[in-house]
């Protein structure tokens, strides 16, 4: 896996977002210690060369919009839906959202 140190840091943080959970670019940037770098985090997320292994599909905009996806926005939507359907019953998505301090 090759990337800049910053990209690798973002991709490692993505690996800690559990299946069925979503995280915003802002929360992800805070999780890597750069809360004002949401755009740079977005660029690192978009540069992820192995999408399903490093789950960049779990990152959404702060407004709740799914946003773009390098491998097709419909695929992103399907992957999010598949993971949500596989989530154990009784667990709200909010309970799965990682908190910045948890990274």
Residue range 36-68, pLDDT digits in tens:
999 999 999 999 999 889 999 999 999 989 988
Q: How many separate domains does the chain show? A: 1
Q: Which CATH number fits the domain that encloses residue 19?
A: 1.10.10.10
Domain with 88, as residue range(s), is 5-96
Residue 67 to residue 8: CA distance in whole angstroms:
22
How many CB atoms within 10 Å of residue 67?
16
Q: Is the pTM of this model over 0.85?
A: no
CB 17 within 8 A of CB 98: yes
| C-alpha dihedral sign at 70, 73, 78, 81 | positive
Residue 59 to residue 29: CA distance in whole angstroms:
11
pLDDT band at 93 (very low <50, low <70, confident <90, very high): low
User: Annotated catalytic sites, by residue?
Assistant: 56
Query: Tokens for 29?
Result: 């940037």
Tell me, yes or no, whether 103 lies in a domain.
Answer: no
């Amino acid at each position: 896996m090759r990337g800049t140190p910053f990209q690798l840091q973002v991709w490692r943080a993505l690996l800690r977002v559990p299946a069925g959970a979503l995280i915003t670019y802002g929360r992800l940037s805070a999780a890597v210690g750069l809360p004002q770098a949401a755009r740079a985090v977005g660029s690192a997320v978009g540069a992820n060369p192995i999408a399903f292994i490093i789950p960049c599909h779990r990152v959404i905009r702060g407004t709740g919009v799914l946003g773009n996806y390098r491998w097709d926005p419909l695929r992103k939507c399907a992957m999010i839906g598949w993971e949500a359907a596989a989530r154990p019953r009784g667990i709200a998505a909010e309970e799965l959202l990682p908190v910045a301090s948890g990274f």
